[in-house]
């Protein structure tokens, strides 16, 4: 009986702690969402309370038109989709070569290729900006897309899966006269669909969320900005318009939020693939 | 031998896209930055001359770089230990079969959905001294929230950036540590329980050693992110408040629009290469951790 009470009290304590912590973690998002839906765009009034009553869409609407958010979302969508498709294709091809083909210096080449993962974007952007400039790619979609079309990590990931496919599969296909490209497209790629899904999801999220490179390669050309760098224009020295930022944040965060809810399992699998043994 | 070479044309064709892209956008800029790091340029950034490897030492010991190095290291110390402890705490707390635990797990993972720009602007709004919610609620205890505002006070600006980073990284940390906790074999806990180990002992003697490799991985990721902090600075403080510039991290020193070396190609390249060396040291730490992980497994 006493043990039951102690256990009950412990459980209640744990729940209380969970609720308090969940409140703290979620509060920044909740407060911004409430500020976006409770006050007008030009009003200095902050919400007197954060209860979800008297909601209005006026701030979100004003942010949408003044921030040109429709255009920014389209740009981000286009750039992220192109990069995702490109990375999946280049990774499939290179991974196939490293997994199924015989050629001299394969091992050293693979190691050298992997080693480039160590070079962070923070180092290369100085020069890549100049390269983009000399190609005439400043303020262009090519500038946003092309430098990201290859992924060393993607090649590594897909090669891992290819190596786990039974070797007889390729041999049997070769006997039947099936060429490399057809085998890749009709057998190897479909068999690695979960990994390709995770790679695609991460590439899309990474491109969608990128900040440093877009902020350097797009210089004030509003027609080519992504949503991540375009949001900044809603930041205004006029304090009475600060709520526009909240409207913009709601619009910018919503697509990714929906995506993550839909692909929660792939996300967790992908995130933990490199981190947890077993 | 003939068989070995038969695949070569295919290998070239299939590797070409990836290798060409990596060569142009990763290897070339690295080599070029190392080379440009030798240059010292005049104020216009147009006339440069090669002064050799010594230039790296000059840049490293320059007041600006030393200042930014200090800022970056401080940001690392502010975000990494706190982020790890919070991540472990939340993951352990939510690693129980309680009713409704799924909701809590979703909430604790939720900040993984925020990008650098979104997380930074969320905190930019919250921390507004005039109409921000935090200033409204807490300025009684912390007057700095209203005057001049956490981001506008040289003493607290970096702390505010750290808050934003810790919060934004929490979802990632929580997801990974939760997965690690779930991979700890249950019978280990049972034998520890049979041996009379209390919950604290079970945590320090079973849980912590078992998830140590994962914690190391998370620690390295958080450290790398702290070292690469750029967007948060651009959106929250622009490296300021001036003149102290307490939030000019190394990446902001290199890429910030208001940075003093923004147009100086030579110094920028040298600083970028020095940042790369710092990251390399961290990667080495990571590899040593991976070695350890193998030992745990055997």
List, for residues B134-150, the tens digit of each pLDDT value: 877 777 787 777 778 88
Q: Please give the pLDDT value at position B297.
A: 42
Beta partners for residue A106, in sequence order: none
Ranges of each domain in chain B: 64-297
Q: Please give the pLDDT value at position B143.
A: 76
CB atoms within 10 A of CB B193: 14
Exposed, middle or buried, B16 (CB in 10 Å: 0-12/13-18/19+)? middle
ipTM field = 0.87
The verdict on a CB contact (< 8 Å) between A32 and B126 is: yes
Contacts of A96 in chain B (CB under 8 A): 14
Q: Please give the pLDDT value at position B210.
A: 87
Domains in chain A with CATH codes? 63-273 (1.10.3720.10)
Q: Please give the pLDDT value at position B209.
A: 86
- Reported as a pLDDT band with limits 50, 70 and 90, residue B258 is confident
Residues A79 and A142: their CA atoms lie apart, in Å, by: 9
Q: Please give the pLDDT value at position A240.
A: 67
The verdict on a CB contact (< 8 Å) between B269 and A155 is: no
Q: Please give the pLDDT value at position A63.
A: 85
Q: For residue A46, give the chain B residue with the closest CA.
A: B131
Closest-CA distance of chain B to residue A61, Å: 18
DSSP A93-154: HHHHHHHH---TTHHHHHHHHHHGGGS-HHHHHHHHHHHHHHTT-TTSHHHHHGGGS--HHH
**Spatial CB neighbours of A169, under 8 Å, sequence gap ≥ 6:** A187
Contacts of B268 in chain A (CB under 8 A): 126
Which of A273 and B187 is assigned the larger pLDDT? B187
Is the pLDDT at B44 greater than 60? The verdict is yes
pTM of the model: 0.88
Note if the bond before B243 is cis, omega within 30 degrees.
Answer: yes
Contacts of B19 in chain A (CB under 8 A): 94, 113
- Reported as a pLDDT band with limits 50, 70 and 90, residue B90 is very high
The verdict on a CB contact (< 8 Å) between A245 and B116 is: no
Q: Please give the pLDDT value at position A277.
A: 40
Contacts of A245 in chain B (CB under 8 A): 121, 124-125
Contacts of B283 in chain A (CB under 8 A): 118
- What are the angstrom distances between the C-alpha of A45 and each of A35, A55, B63, B128, B198? 10, 14, 44, 13, 53
Is the pLDDT at B241 greater than 70? The verdict is yes
Q: Please give the pLDDT value at position B21.
A: 96
The tokens for B248 are 């000019």
**CATH code of the domain made up of B64-297:** 1.10.3720.10
Angle value at C-alpha B34, between B29 and B36, nearest 5 degrees: 90
Closest-CA distance of chain B to residue A151, Å: 7
Which of B42 and A257 is assigned the larger pLDDT? A257
Is the pLDDT at B186 greater than 50? The verdict is yes
Residue given tokens 């091992």 in the structure block: A107
Q: Please give the pLDDT value at position B294.
A: 44
Q: Which of B18, B218, B231 sits opposite A212 (nearest CB)?
A: B231
Is the pLDDT at B298 greater than 80? The verdict is no
Q: For residue A232, give the chain B residue with the closest CA.
A: B235
Query: Cβ distance B203 to B220 under 8 Å?
Result: no
Which of B214 and A225 is assigned the larger pLDDT? A225
Q: Tell whether B108 is within 8 A of chain A (Cβ).
A: yes
Q: Please give the pLDDT value at position A227.
A: 93
3-class DSSP state of B237? coil
- At A86-130, the pLDDT tens digits run 999 999 999 999 999 989 999 999 999 998 988 888 899 999 999
| Mean pLDDT across B95-117 | 86
Residues A70 and A74: their CA atoms lie apart, in Å, by: 6
Q: Tell whether B163 is within 8 A of chain A (Cβ).
A: no
> Phi, psi at residue B269, to the nearest 5°?
-65, -45
Is the pLDDT at B253 greater than 60? The verdict is yes
Please report the number of interchain residue pairs, chain A to chain B, with beta-carbon separation below 8 angstroms: 258
Strands B39-41 and B48-50, by their bridges, are: antiparallel
> Phi, psi at residue B172, to the nearest 5°?
-60, -50
Is the pLDDT at B109 greater than 50? The verdict is yes
Q: Which of A18, A147, A216 sits opposite B25 (nearest CB)?
A: A147
Query: B 261-280 residues with CB below 8 A of A?
Result: 265, 268-269, 272-273, 275-276, 279-280
Contacts of B296 in chain A (CB under 8 A): 277
* pLDDT beneath 50, residues of chain A: 276-278
Residues A66 and A71: their CA atoms lie apart, in Å, by: 11
Q: Tell whether B180 is within 8 A of chain A (Cβ).
A: yes
Contacts of B108 in chain A (CB under 8 A): 21-22, 25
Please report, in angstroms and rounded to a whole number, the separation of the first and last CA atoms in chain A.
41
Q: For residue A117, give the chain B residue with the closest CA.
A: B26
Q: What proportion of chain B, given as a percentage, has pLDDT over 70? A: 93
CB atoms within 10 A of CB B289: 16
- At A125-139, the pLDDT tens digits run 999 999 999 999 999
Q: Please give the pLDDT value at position A226.
A: 95
The verdict on a CB contact (< 8 Å) between B121 and A245 is: yes
Q: Please give the pLDDT value at position B216.
A: 84
């Amino acid at each position: 009986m006493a043990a039951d009470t102690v256990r009950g009290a412990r459980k209640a304590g744990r729940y209380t702690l969970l609720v308090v912590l969940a409140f703290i973690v979620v509060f920044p998002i909740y407060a911004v969402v409430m500020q976006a839906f409770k006050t007008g765009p030009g009003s200095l009034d902050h919400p007197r309370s954060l209860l979800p009553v008297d909601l209005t869409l006026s701030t979100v609407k004003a942010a949408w038109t003044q921030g040109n958010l429709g255009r920014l979302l389209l740009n981000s969508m286009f750039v992220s989709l192109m990069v995702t498709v490109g990375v999946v294709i280049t990774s499939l091809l290179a991974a196939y070569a490293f997994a199924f083909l015989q050629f001299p210096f394969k091992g050293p080449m693979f190691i050298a290729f992997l080693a480039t993962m160590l070079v962070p974007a923070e180092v290369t952007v100085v020069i890549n900006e100049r390269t983009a400039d000399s190609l005439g790619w400043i303020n262009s979609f090519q500038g946003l897309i092309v430098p990201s079309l290859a992924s060393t990590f993607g090649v590594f990931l897909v090669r891992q899966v290819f190596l786990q496919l039974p070797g007889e599969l390729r041999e049997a296909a070769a006997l039947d006269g099936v060429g490399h490209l057809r085998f890749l497209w009709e057998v190897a790629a479909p068999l690695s669909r979960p990994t390709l899904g995770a790679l695609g999801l991460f590439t899309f999220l990474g491109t969608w969320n990128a900040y440093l490179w877009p902020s350097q390669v797009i210089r004030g050309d509003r027609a080519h900005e992504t949503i991540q760098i375009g949001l900044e224009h809603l930041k205004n020295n006029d304090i009475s318009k600060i709520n526009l930022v909240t409207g913009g944040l709601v619009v910018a965060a919503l697509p990714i939020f929906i995506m993550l809810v839909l692909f929660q399992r792939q996300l967790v699998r992908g995130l933990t693939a490199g981190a947890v043994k077993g | 031998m003939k068989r070995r070479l038969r695949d070569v044309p295919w290998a070239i064709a299939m590797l070409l896209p990836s290798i060409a892209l990596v060569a142009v956008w990763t290897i070339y800029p690295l080599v070029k930055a190392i080379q440009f790091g030798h240059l010292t340029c005049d104020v216009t950034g147009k006339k440069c001359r090669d002064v050799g490897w010594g230039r790296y030492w000059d840049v490293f010991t320059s007041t600006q770089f030393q200042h930014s190095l200090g800022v970056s290291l401080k940001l690392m110390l502010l975000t990494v230990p706190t982020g790890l402890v919070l991540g472990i705490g939340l993951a352990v707390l939510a690693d129980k079969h309680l009713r409704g635990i799924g909701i809590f797990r979703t909430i604790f993972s939720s900040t993984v959905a925020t990008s650098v720009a979104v997380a930074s602007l969320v905190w930019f709004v919250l921390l507004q001294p005039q109409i921000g919610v935090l200033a409204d609620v807490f300025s009684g205890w912390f007057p700095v929230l209203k005057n001049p505002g956490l981001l506008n006070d040289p003493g607290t600006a970096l702390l505010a950036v750290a808050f934003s980073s810790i919060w934004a990284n929490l979802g990632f940390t929580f997801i990974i540590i939760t997965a690690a906790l779930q991979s700890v074999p249950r019978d280990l806990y049972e034998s520890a329980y049979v041996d009379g180990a209390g919950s604290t002992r079970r945590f320090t003697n079973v849980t912590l050693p078992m998830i140590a490799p994962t914690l190391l991985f998370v620690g390295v990721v958080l450290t790398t992110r702290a070292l690469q902090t750029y967007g948060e600075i651009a959106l929250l403080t622009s490296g300021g408040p001036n003149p102290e510039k307490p939030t000019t991290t190394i990446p902001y020193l290199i890429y910030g629009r208001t940075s003093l070396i923004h147009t100086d190609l030579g110094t920028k390249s040298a600083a970028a290469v020095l940042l790369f060396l710092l990251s390399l040291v961290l990667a080495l730490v990571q590899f040593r951790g991976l070695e350890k992980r193998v030992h745990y497994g055997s």
